[in-house]
Amino acid sequence: MNIGGSVRSIGLTLRHEAVWAPRPTFGPGALALGAVALWIASLRGIQIDRIDDLGLISALPPLFFVSLVVLTIGFCWTLRLRPLPVALLAFEIVVLIVMLYGVASIVEGMPRYHSVWKHFGVIDYIQRTGQVNPRIDAYFNWPGFFILFAFVADVAGLQNWPQFANWIPVFLNLIYLGPLLVLLRSATKDNRVIWLAIWLFYLTNWIQQDYFSPQGFNYFFYLVIIAILLTWFKIGPGEPHPILRRLRVLAIVDHVPRKLRGWLTPTDSEPTSLSPWRRRGMLAIVIAIYVAVVASHQLTPFAVLGSVTLLVMFNRTSGRGLPILMGVLAALWLKFMSDAYLAGHGEALMSQVGNVNEAVGANAGSRFAGSQGHMIVVYTRSLMTVALWGLAFLGGIRRIRRGHRDLTFALLAAAPFPLLILQPYGGEMALRVYFFALPFMAFFAAALFYTTPEVGASRRTTAVIGALSAALLAAFFVTRYGNEKMDYATPAELDAANYIYRVAPPGSLFLVGTANTAWRYRDYEKFNYKSLTNELVWQDGPIENNVDEIARLMDSHRYPATYLLITGSQTANDNLFYLFPVPLADIEQAMIDSNQFIEVYDNDNAIVFMLNKSPLGPRP
C-alpha cells in the first residue's frame, strides 16, 4: 500500500473541505443581514397616524420586532464564538443603532423635539449677524455649538437644517461607539463584557439627549475626556496615592485604615505608555476639549469636573491638576461670558442649590402625572432604570467576589448623582444623571454575566442575555418614543409657522398654546415669543371666560400684530400632561365659535388665529 500517497490524499481532502466549510461567523452574520432585510421590509407597515399615548410602539408592525429578535439571536450567538469575532460584533452594534435610532428619522422625515427648532434659530441669527447677543436668550451665553455649526453651514452651504438634523441621533450614537470602546477596554480585557456592555448601553439609552443639541455633542466630548484619562493618564498598579507617600515619610501611614489604603492604591492593568511629549499633547487635547465644552453647555462642564475630581481624589489618574484648572475655566466662563444670564437668573439658581425637596419634586414628583397612557410610559422608564441599576449592583458584587476591584468605574457611575442636589435643571437633572452614569452602569450589568474570561458562557447564560435583551428592546420603544405623539412636528405644523414668519411684521407677538411646537427657527430677535401655558391665568367658570382672557392677552398695543398658533403636537402635549384644566382642543374650538378671532390660516394639523379687529394677513 502507498501509505504516503494515502496520507497526502486525505490531507488534500481535509484542506479542501476546510476551505469550503462554513466559517463560524457565517450563521450569526447571516442572521444580522436577515434582520436588516426584515427591518427594511417592516418600515412600509409603520403607520404614523396610529401613534397614541404609548408613543411610536403603537404604530410599529410585528415584523419590525421580528427583525430585532433575529438580530438579538445573532448577537448572542456571536458572543459564544471563539475567538470572538470583533468585526462582526461591531457590525451588529451598528445595525442595532440604525434600527433603534434611525426608525423615526426614516418614517417621520422631520427632526423630533421642539428644542431643535430653536437651535436652528440661534444658528440663523449668528449666520445673519455674525455675532451673538447674550441678552436675547440663554443659548447665546454658551454659543460654542451654535458658532461651530454656523461656520459649518457657511463653508458647506448647508441650508436644509431639518433634513440634516433628522439623522443626528444616528450619527451621535455611532460616534459614541469609539470612546465607549476605549473606556471599557480600560476596565477589562474580556471582550464579551465590553461588547455586551455596549449592547446594553444602546438598549437603555432612552434619555433622548442625542439630538441636534449642545448636550448631544458635548456628551461625546465627555466620553472622550474620560476615555483619554483612563487610558493614557491611568495610575499604574500598586502606585500609592501622593498622600500615602507623604504619610509614609512621616511614619504614620500604618495608622491609615487598610481598606482606605487599598482604595487609594490601584490594582488595575498598566496604562498605555506614552513619551513625555505625547503625554503633553494628549493633555492639551483634554484641555482644549474641555474649553469647547465650557463654551457650549451649562451642565456638561460640571459633570466632567465632578468625574475628574473623583478620579484624582482616589488616585485613578495622573492628571492631578486638572480639577483645579477645569474649575477655574468653568468659573471664568460663568463670571465673564455668562454674566448676562446670571444677572437675571443668578439669585434663583443659587436659591435652588441644596434644596432637596425642590429637586425631588421637579425631577420625580412632577413627572408622575398625565394621561393613563403617559403614566405607562413613565412607569416603564422607571422600571427600566431600576432594572439596569439593579443588574449593575449585582454585577459589581459578583466582580468583587471574583477578586476584581472596579473602583474607577464605580466612582464614575456615582459621580453624576451629586448634581441632583445642586440644581433641579428644569426637572431634567435626573435624566442627565442617568445619561452620564449609563456607560458605567452598563459595564457592571454586563459583568454580571461574564466573570471568568477563560470559561465560555453556558447556554443558560446566553438564553438569559437573550431574554433580557428582548425585554429591553420592547421597553425601549416605550421609554424612548413614548412621547412621540407630541415630539413629532409634522410638515403641516411647519407650514403654519412659516405662514406667520412670512406675513408678520417685525416686533409681532408669536403666541402658541404650549411651547412644544416648531417655532423660533428663524428671525430669532425680530419677534416676541410667548405661550398660553406661561401667560394665561386660568379663570374659574365657563370656558368662554378664558377665551376672553386670551383675547385680552392678544389685544396688546405693544405689538404690531399678534398671532396664536395651535398645532397637533401642542394638543398632544396637553393631552399627555394635562397642562390646562380643560383640553387645549376644547379651547381651540371655543375660539373658533367665538366672534373675537379670525382663522387666518388652517390646515389638517395647525391653525393660526388673530383678533377679529386685527388687519388680516394674506391668505395662504
Model confidence over 525-575: pLDDT tens digits? 999 999 999 998 888 888 988 999 999 999 988 899 999 999 999 999 999
Between 132-136, 435-439, 467-471, the lowest mean confidence (pLDDT) is in 132-136
The per-residue pLDDT for 257 is: 53
Confidence at residue 169, expressed as pLDDT on a 0 to 100 scale = 96
Considering only residues 453 and 61, tell me which one the structure prediction assigns the higher pLDDT: 61
Grid cell listed for 222: 465627555
Region of poorest pLDDT, from 65-69, 218-222, 230-234, 614-618: 614-618
Lowest-pLDDT range of 58-62, 255-259, 480-484? 255-259
Residue 345 clears pLDDT 60, i.e. is over it = no
Which of 567, 553, 545 lies closest to 610 in space, CA to CA?
553
Conformational region of residue 246, where left means phi above 0, alpha means psi within -120 to 50, and beta covers everything else: alpha
Does the pLDDT of residue 459 top 80, yes or no?
Answer: yes
Say whether pLDDT at 6 is over 50. no
Q: How does residue 615 score in pLDDT terms, banded at 50, 70 and 90?
A: very low
Nearest in space to 603 (alpha carbons), one of 458, 457, 492, 476: 492
For cell 453647555, what's the residue?
Answer: 297
How many angstroms separate the first and last alpha carbons of the chain? Answer: 97
**Quick count: other Cβ atoms within 10 Å of Cβ 167?**
15
Q: Write out pLDDT tens, residues 46-80.
A: 998 899 888 999 999 999 999 999 999 999 999 99
Radius of gyration of the chain (CA): 28
Please tell me the predicted confidence (pLDDT) of residue 314: 86
What is the band of 602 on the pLDDT scale with cuts at 50, 70, 90? very high
Rounded to whole angstroms, how far apart are CA atoms 510 and 527? 7
DSSP state of 533: H
CB 521, CB 118: distance < 8 Å: yes
**558, three cell numbers:** 405693544
Task: Give me the mean pLDDT over the 122-144 stretch.
Answer: 91
Structure confidence at residue 2 as a pLDDT band (50, 70, 90): very low
Q: What is the mean pLDDT of residues 358-375?
A: 62
The residue type at 614 = S
pLDDT reported for residue 265 = 59
What does the pLDDT read at residue 456? 61
Question: Is residue 528 within a helix (H) or strand (E), and if so which, with residue range?
Answer: strand 528-531
Q: d(Cα 299, Cα 272) in Å, to the nearest integer?
A: 30
Q: What is the mean pLDDT of the chain?
A: 86
Confidence of residue 1 (pLDDT cuts 50, 70, 90): very low
Please state, for a pLDDT cut of 90, what percent of the chain lies above it. Answer: 62
pTM confidence score: 0.89
Map grid coordinates 401642542 to a residue: 570
Lowest mean pLDDT, pick from 33-47, 333-347, 575-589: 333-347
Separation of alpha carbons 555 and 600, rounded Å: 16
The CATH architecture assigned to 489-611 reads: 3-Layer(aba) Sandwich (3.40)
- In the structure, what pLDDT confidence band is assigned to residue 191 with cuts at 50, 70 and 90? very high
What is the strand order of the sheet 528-531 is part of? Answer: 528-531, 509-512, 562-567, 606-611, 597-603
Rounded average pLDDT over 300-318: 92
| Interior/surface letters 292-327, b for 16+ CB within 10 angstroms, e for the rest | bbbbbbbbbbbbbbbbbbbbbebbbbbbeebbebbe
Please write the tens of the pLDDT for every residue from 575-590.
988 899 999 999 999 9
Q: What is the mean pLDDT of residues 284-306?
A: 96
Q: Which amino acid is at 7?
A: V
**361 has pLDDT over 70:** no
- d(Cα 25, Cα 17) in Å, to the nearest integer? 17
Domain limits of the chain? 167-235+271-456, 489-611
235 confidence band (pLDDT: 50, 70, 90) = confident
Q: How far apart are CA 269 and CA 407, in angstroms?
A: 13
Residue 19: what pLDDT? 41
Residue 256 pLDDT exceeds 60: no
**Predicted pLDDT of residue 373:** 83
